[in-house]
Amino acid sequence: MKSTQRFSPFDFRISSFQFPISSFHFRVSILAALFLLTLGPWHALAQEPPATTSAPSLLATADDVFQEMSRITGLPVRAPLKKQILSRPEIKKILEQNLHEEYTPRDIHIQESVLRAFGLVSRDFDLAKFLITFYTEQAAGAYDPRRKTMFIADWPTEEMQRLVLAHELTHALQDQSFDMSKFLHAERQNDDATSARQAVVEGYAMAAMMQLMLGSVDLANMPALGTLMASMVNNQMGEFPAFTSAPYFFRMQALFPYAQGMGFMQRGLQLGGWKKLNSLFSKPPTTTREIFEPSVYFDQQAPLPTVSLPRPPALEGVAGLKRLAENTVGELGYHSLLGQLISEDEARTVAAGWLADRFILYEGEKPDQFVLVARTRWSSAETALAFFRDYYTILSKKYPELTADKRSSADLFVGVAANGQVILLRKGDECLWAEGVPAAHSDAILNWLKSL
């Protein structure tokens, strides 16, 4: 087995529901490294061993690896590689700059609000601070499509550097051929579609890096690596306290593009090699379900259904209430939600039945005053009922004071919480709900949900 090491994670995105992973335009390298640490006698990057490679040698290695990744993937080198060697503080500074350049304080507020409304973070959660800590801990080199530059960390060993470069320079080739920023931002109103594109970008780079490591052994003929990689990485994450202490939601969102993305790419290689993978950038998957279940995409099954969620008339124009966000959560989002607030086993069982969803979030004048309205469709009435019961459990945790009224039944819960009325309804294979509803509008919202 050819010896090279380490990969990169998190191209980092802030989108309404999902953990910022894809549009922050910056990658840091740790997940692949941790995966490969389990395959060979490599030292963890958290230990920051002293660099053993001179700057001229490292820059030359980057040029060599750039050409090698072009050979593996079939993506041409269209422009000379811009590269710069940086220290950890310098990489942190660029990370912070990118965050503030791309996202306004209002953008950050919207992301925090959605996370709070779904019960995933506490009232005092500081998203920007969390992201900087989370990613700085894992920084080990990154290709930055904003600056068209490969930033090379100055501390990993030579062997580790080669793997970091393999993964990140694959991103440089993707950028030169497909314009990564344009590709990742193409579905701004659909977080699930954006996460699927993120898995294409990162899974592809993972596959390319793995192929470099394997040498003449064809990655397509290897045993399935996606699930194995996720397990291995989780076992190694104890060396990274910010990651380890993060809620399950964040960890799942961070790992998904690499672990499940790798499995998706391996299936594509089996069906048509790198030519098949390169075609994904012109016709990418549109849901994370296709990444979880590659056959849904590659076997050209019937398109997944969609659901619409019109803006509820009873909430539009209400004094002191403004619409903050509208988006799609997707299978990945509900897997992450159930995994954190119910259990990982329940997430695997129920979220796999996701077919479609949409939500709208309103914000009131008081701190953390939200009205959340959502509609989901599931693979069967039984799965919808399972989610109905799970979400009732989640509501009970979010609102310990929640009390039911006499309208509640086996498929309907109507209750009162401190922040307003809560309505949860199952209709066949759908589950719909609204929480934080002003009491004066409760009946109108219930009737509206029933009419959808």
pLDDT digits over 299-309, tens only? 987 788 999 99
For residue 304, give the DSSP letter: P
Q: Which amino acid is at 269?
A: L
Q: How many residues does the chain have?
A: 452
Beta bridge partners of 84: 151
C-alpha separations of 100 from 12, 49, 93, 129, 325 in Å: 13, 31, 11, 12, 20
Q: Which of 138, 163, 143, 152 is nearest to 45 (CA)?
A: 138
**Given this model, what pLDDT does residue 448 score?**
97
Residue range 373-379: mean pLDDT, rounded: 98
DSSP-assigned letters across all residues of 333-355: HHHHHHHHHT-HHHHHHHGGGEE
Residue range 339-356: mean pLDDT, rounded: 97
Assigned token pair, 338: 């159930």
C-alpha–C-alpha distance, residues 174 and 179, integer Å: 7
Beta bridge partners of 359: 327, 374
* Contact between 435 and 411 (Cβ < 8 Å): no
| Band of residue 51 on the pLDDT scale cut at 50, 70, 90 | very low
Q: Which amino acid is at 355?
A: L
Residue-wise pLDDT for 243-295, tens only, equals: 778 889 988 988 899 889 999 999 999 999 999 999 999 999 999 999 999 99
Give the dihedral sign, CA 64/66/67/73: positive
Q: Which of 10-14, 59-63, 92-96, 300-304 has the lowest mean pLDDT?
A: 10-14
**Given this model, what pLDDT does residue 393 score?**
97
**Given this model, what pLDDT does residue 244 score?**
79
Provide, for the chain, the percentages of residues in helix, strand and coil under a 3-state DSSP scheme, each rounded to the nearest 5. Answer: 50, 15, 35
59 has a pLDDT exceeding 60: yes
Average pLDDT, the chain: 85
pTM, full prediction? 0.89
Assigned token pair, 259: 């672990």
Residue-wise pLDDT for 152-209, tens only, equals: 888 777 777 888 899 999 999 999 999 999 999 898 889 999 999 999 999 999 999 9
Q: Which of 297, 398, 24 is nearest to 181 (CA)?
A: 24
